[in-house]
């Protein structure tokens, strides 16, 4: 299995809700940023692809919340990718609190490569990053 890409973060006060924990919607921002960092680390320029008419889009998001992050927590997101079909790919992501490596969230994000008109297109620029 390929090694996961790791992106590190700190929880900021404004990301927390009235209960003092990170709002559930904020986790989507964390894992999106981690996916973009993963793409950059694999020599995929998201903005350049878009200008070329190739759109990598999320078509499904499955998030399993395990524990809650709090303000000031340091954490990291691991990201791996696997091909689902010629047009679809799965990102497997996990959020861990850094001080004790506790699993906070598990996610599976299904992406697709589409044209500007929304038609599926084959994008092979991530083939080197796919798990076997």
The domain that holds 59 is classified in CATH as 3.10.129.10
Q: Is 35 exposed, middle or buried (0-12, 13-18, 19+ CB in 10 A)?
A: buried
Q: How far apart are CA 83 and CA 130, in angstroms?
A: 6
Q: Which of 17, 90, 99, 127 is catalytic?
A: 17
3-state SS, residue 28: helix
* Host domain of residue 68: 5-129
The count of structural domains within the chain is: 1
DSSP state letter for 52: T
What is residue 47's predicted lDDT score, i.e. its pLDDT?
87
Judge whether 17 counts as a catalytic residue: yes
pLDDT digits (tens, 9 = 90+) for 78-110: 999 999 998 999 999 999 999 999 999 999 999
* pTM greater than the 0.95 cutoff: no
């Amino acid at each position: 299995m390929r090694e996961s890409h790791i992106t590190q973060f700190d929880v900021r006060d404004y990301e927390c809700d009235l209960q003092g924990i990170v709002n559930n919607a904020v986790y989507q921002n964390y894992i999106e940023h981690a996916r973009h960092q993963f793409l950059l680390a694999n020599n995929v320029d998201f903005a350049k692809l878009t200008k070329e008419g190739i759109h990598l889009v999320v078509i499904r998001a499955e998030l399993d919340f395990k524990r809650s992050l709090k303000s000031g927590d340091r954490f990291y997101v691991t990201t791996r990718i696997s091909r689902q079909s010629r047009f679809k790919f799965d990102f497997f992501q996990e959020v861990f609190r850094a001080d004790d490596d506790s699993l906070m969230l598990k996610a599976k994000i299904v992406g697709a490569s589409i044209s500007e008109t929304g038609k599926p297109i084959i994008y092979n620029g991530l083939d080197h990053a796919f798990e076997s």
